[in-house]
Structure 1
């Protein structure tokens, strides 16, 4: 007994079928393209770019006025160093005044700043690094402690009439660090442990002590009465920094 199977009709690409006759061929459509209607007048941009009308709603941007106003505002801005509060001319004048220990110009140090002291402290640490000693943290820490020490000592000696603030004290100690920085640079060319390095250390420490004492006496009130004690405190501070160079 034979069994019948239902075979589906076969559709040929040519559009004909021997059993059912010719069929209408469907044109391929692009993917994700919406179905068109007879009254649709908006073309699909992905495939009908050529048929879309040119848009004239965009205008050409004008950059002339913007660039001119931006350049004008940029020319009116102050320099970067001036915005940061760094006066290079003032730092140079203060540095030159420190180089002459017998003629201290105290009027140049009336406006205290920390740009010069930080520069000298970094230079001191750099020369120590060239000598194989990493002392950046020690130098910054000792400078802070020395400023607090000198501030407390001076105000205790002056009493209620003392007008030395901590900011000016830190500025003076930093600027008077210049002789120690020079000593650190010269020690790179001098044998360690010899007599010459000790003689140089004594000379530069006395230089820094004299300059710092003169500035404190001139700038702060009631300092002339206790010049010896102030000089002793300054001597201890710069002798402490010189030990980093010698040993």
Structure 2
């Protein structure tokens, strides 16, 4: 968070930035993942078309490209490695590059590198891994921008759009159920493989997803 007081010239480690959200990950952060400092289960993929908070611009806007970001904690975007109780970072000495350059009273260094050399899922997955094809299929069938268009049309009473949206959400839910079941990997990996669940993205549009009577229903609010 940028502040008007400019007397400070270095980070006070107050935790404000950590509370506002964990960093996006860049190729310079790859060693932190390779040596286990950052676990894949602690990374969430934000996909093109998702509306996210742009720190340098300090506004919400849709993503142009994939972003890997440290997960939040306690149902918020507060960085998972931050301890609110003691205002301490669990990896301060080996923190990601965005954390190194970010200073709340001068965000220009972050602005310069913010959208450069970002890591992608493909950078972290072995070439030819079978789940890569599932990720590509999911990206095609569950694109956030397409979901948003269908949701807006369904809200306005378009039945066909509502049925297409239902199929999209069911596919997303089933894939997230089957991958852990078939691979033995923890379900926490789904946020890395497939990004945030569509029902979470829909909730951001004030659309609640219900499972009732063996099918999916939507509640349109607002």
Tell me, yes or no, whether TM beats 0.5.
no
The TM-score normalised by the length of structure 1 is 0.25
The TM-score normalised by the length of structure 2 is 0.27
Structure with the greater alpha carbon radius of gyration: 1
Query: Which structure shows the bigger proportion of residues in strand conformation?
Result: 2
